Structures are given as structure tokens and as C-alpha cells.
A and B are shown apart, each in its own frame.
Chain A
């Protein structure tokens, strides 16, 4: 008996174990490469993210989707509050972008985020940008290309090629085969019909069916605004008749009533009233207030940009044009009224 004779069994096992570990590790690296490729194949090319937002997603330890949910809910509350109050929606785009970067397949955040950006903040470009991030990652989500098409159709309709883009994206949406018949119908109607209003109306009516309260309210309001817009040409015609009759343009509805061209006030479900501009153009305070709010928001945003750059408020609004921040000061939608700018507070009235 000599216990020193057998080689220590521990030593004998270490080498094969290390070889095994090395092999497993090598295959792990190989599998990682495979997984990366497979994931790239699943999602197409990835969107170039801003580095800091990318870091945010990495730092969530797998909780990215839950954080995205919470952020999105916060975003919706923000929209509800802003919609009632300031209607500036300053942070809307940032919030939506962060949400979708945390959860790149959150198609409702893309869709409704884009809708809110264009319909509420009137920032059709931001809306387009958002959808352009979402579409490559979610090629099967018909809602996103549909929304992008509608965005061109409704909010960017004055741009050249808007109809062409709209038709392209609506076609893309229909081609996923997942969209409702409604989308295909709209895409087909775009070829023939010139009346985009009825297309828009159909879209909002479609949304009235939505199970969500915020969306239903939005659609309802948009339909009411469309009603008002449909009344305006009727009033314009009445004003022309009045002009023929009296030789001057009416100022209020009462002028028309007096000569019996109109017998009762046209309705404004949103509580505004109608009047006439100096050239006899019919106007509505609800629409003008909306427009004014939007323009005011744009102006104040640019004023804040100026302040960020120069660390002081601009002396006049013209300074913004001189600085190149604006091409021109947008006109106050109320005819004959000018913006009241307060250089001490940087606010526009």
C-alpha cells in the first residue's frame, strides 16, 4: 500500500473540465453571434437611436416594457391635462419618443402618439418622424403606415406630393393584409375623389367606435369642428348675397338676419360664434381660437428657443425672424388683431 502512487484524482479532472468550459464558452460566443443575426433578421435594420435614450433602455434590466407602459400612461394624462389647459404639448414628442425607444414594438404608442402630435399639437412633422421610426421595426403593424398616410392626407395636404405619399402609405397599410376594409376603401377613394373632407370625416367617425374615452372625445371634437367648417361656405354665400343687396359686407350674423337672408343662428356645438371678416369672409371663434392657440404655442416655443440660445428674451417678435428661427411671424388668425408680446416674460397674447 502506498498512497502516494496514484496521481491526485483532482488534478486529473481539472484539465478536461477546463477544456469543457472553454468549448462551452466558445459555443456560447457562437450562439451569441447566431442570436444577433437571427434577431436582426427578425426586425430588419435597426433604427439609429440617440445614444442617451439607448442607454436608458439598457439600464432597465429587462423592465423596459413596464417602464414604457408607465411612461405612456403618464403621457396620456399629460395630454388630457394639456388639452384642458395650456394646449402647448411641449413635452409630448419627447415622452412619446422615450416610450417607443423603451418598447420599440409599442404600436399604440406610435399610432396614438403620432395622432396626438398631429391633431393636438399640430406638429405634423414630428408625427411623421415618429411613425418613420416605428414602421421599420413593426412592418406588420398596419396602423402605423395608415396613420402616416392619413397624416399626409389631412395635416400636410398643402404640401406638394402629399396625396402621392398618402396613397403610398395607405397602400402599404392595406398590403399588410391585416388592416380593416376601411383602409383599402380610403386608399381606393384617394385615386378618384378630390374631396378630402369626406375622407377625414370617415376617419374620425371610425374612431368614434374606439373603446377608449380619450380617443372618442378627440374624434367627437374633430367631427364637431368639421361641422363648423361645413357651415362656413354657406355663410360665405349668404354674405355674397348680402353684398349684392346692400353693396357692403356684413359684420355680424344679425346683419344677415335683418335682411332675412338667414333666419336663425347656425349652430356651434363647441360654444363659439360666427362673424365676418372685413372682406366678408365667414369666421368662427372656435376654429380661430384653436388656430390662435396653435400659433401662439409655436411662437412661444420659438421664443423659448431664442432664450435658450441668448439667455434673454427677444426684444420684439421680429428678432426671431432676424435670427432665422422663423421665416415670418404667423398672422394672428383674428383679422385686424396683432400679437401682443411681453418682452419681460416672453409670453405672446
Chain B
């Protein structure tokens, strides 16, 4: 109930701050970008449209998650709006979770609308969509759950600018964790290899949620994989959120 109240308020704040204008940019980028590139391609208009849709969802979603997420708690502390809230009979973690879920609701709305726009656009162009496109869109959203959780954690710890830089680096790097496993064969059996393996499992692996290539080329992805990736995202977000709650619990405001 209290979590819902905070979440609802966070959602309303973001909406009244016109964060959803990002949808407009999404539409412009997708339509202009895919149109401009589509006409010189070899029978690839629809693939390019799908690529643009999914990549724009990932990028714009991440932008919302990073910029709104990293200032989520910090802004409340900085503007002292928090004083009257924390002094209410509620746990601090309820506040953190409320903020998180408020932003997640916003992202759900944003990505849901983007998916709907993409679907409509692709249908208008005469294409058809397979299940894998929606799997890719869902995993895109799940990726943003992890990114948002990380942003919330950092917003409890640092200033929004530093937080945004860190989350952005993690976003880029999170897609590249595969390099830790793709070591050249001369590392086989060495300590370094095991060390990198440990790191591989510690850092968030955002490439798990990247089905763009499969979605655009209609390569089916098993439901088992989707389920593993969803479970992974949920568990990792939970880790980050618990850490965010702990960090916020002991904070002097």
C-alpha cells in the first residue's frame, strides 16, 4: 500500500516532468532512421525497421532508467522532500522499493508503447512479427529492470552525475561481459582464466537480454532460454535492490 503510494507518485512525477516525450523521439528515430536507410538496402527494409525499433527501445529505455533512476533518491534528499515522507510511519525500504517500482511502471508504459508503435509500424509496412520479436522486447524491458536497480543503488550512494556515468559504463560494459569467457586459448588452465570466470559471473550480464539479432532475422529462441534470462534479471535486480535498501537504511538525511 505504502509502496504503491510512493510508486504511484514517482510515476506521476515522471509523467508530469514530460519524460514520456521520449516516445516522440522514438517514433521519429525509428521512422526517419529506417526510412532513410531502407531505400538503399537489398530487400532489407523490414529487418532494418525491426533493428531500429529494438535498438531504440534499448537505448531510450536505458536513457530513462539512467537519468531518472540515478536522481531518484538523490533528488528527494537534495530537495528535502524526503523529510516529511521518512517521518511517516513507514520503513525506509518501502520508500526505496516504491521509487523503484514507480520508475519500473514508467518504463513498462514507455516500452509497452514503443512495442505497440513498432508493431503497428511494421504492420503498416506490410511485415509480420513472430513471437521472437516480443520475446526480444520483453527481455529488453527486463534488462532495464537491472539497469534501474543499479541506478537506484547508485542514487542512494552518489550524486546523479557520477551515478549516471557509472551506470552508463555498466550498461556498455554489461553487454561485453562475454570477453571474460572468450579468452585466447593460451590462458587455458591458468589462474587468470579462473579469475576472469569469477568476474564473468559477478558483473551483470546484459547481453543475456539481447535478442535483437534473432528478432530481426526471425530466428526462434527457446522459451527455456527466455525463462533463464528472466530469472537471471529478476535475481540480479533483487541483489541490487537489497543493497540499495541497506545503503539507504543507514543513511542520515
Contacts and interface: CB of A to CB of B under 8 A. Distances in A.
B243 interface: yes
B33 to A, nearest CB: 8
Contacts of B229: 31, 35
Interface stretch (B52-60, B68-76, B79-87): B52-60
Contacts of A62: 55, 58-59, 143, 175, 206-207, 210, 212
B245 A24 contact: no
A211 to B, nearest CB: 6
A76 B231 contact: no
B43 A107 contact: no
B116 interface: no
B161 to A, nearest CB: 20
Contacts, number: 156
Interface in A259-282: none
B228 A28 contact: no
Contact of B225 (A17, A27, A39, A70): A39
A31 B246 contact: no
Given A25-B235, A32-B232, A64 B217 contact: no
B232 A76 contact: no
A87 interface: no
A140 interface: yes
Contact of B179 (A17, A25, A55): A55
Interface in B143-194: 143, 171-172, 175-176, 178-179, 182, 184
Nearest to B168: A61
Query: Interface residues of A: mostly helix, strand, loop or mixed?
Result: helix
Contact of A104 (B208, B213, B236): B213
Interface string A64-79: 1110111011001100
A34 interface: yes
A66 B216 CA distance: 10
B157 to A, nearest CB: 15
B44 interface: yes
B41 A76 contact: yes
A68 B206 CA distance: 19
A308 interface: no
A42 B219 CA distance: 10
Given A51-B182, A59-B172, A64 B212 contact: yes
A60 interface: yes
Nearest to A21: B242
A27 B239 CA distance: 10
B239 A59 contact: no
Nearest to B172: A61
A54 interface: yes
Contacts of A14: 246, 249
Given A17-B246, A21-B242, 8 more contacts: A21-B238, A35-B232, A61-B171, A62-B210, A63-B59, A65-B51, A211-B43, A215-B42
Interface of B: 37, 40-44, 47-48, 51-52, 54-55, 58-59, 143, 171-172, 175-176, 178-179, 182, 184, 201, 205-208, 210, 212-214, 216-217, 219, 221-222, 224-225, 228-229, 231-232, 235-236, 238-239, 242-243, 245-246, 249-250
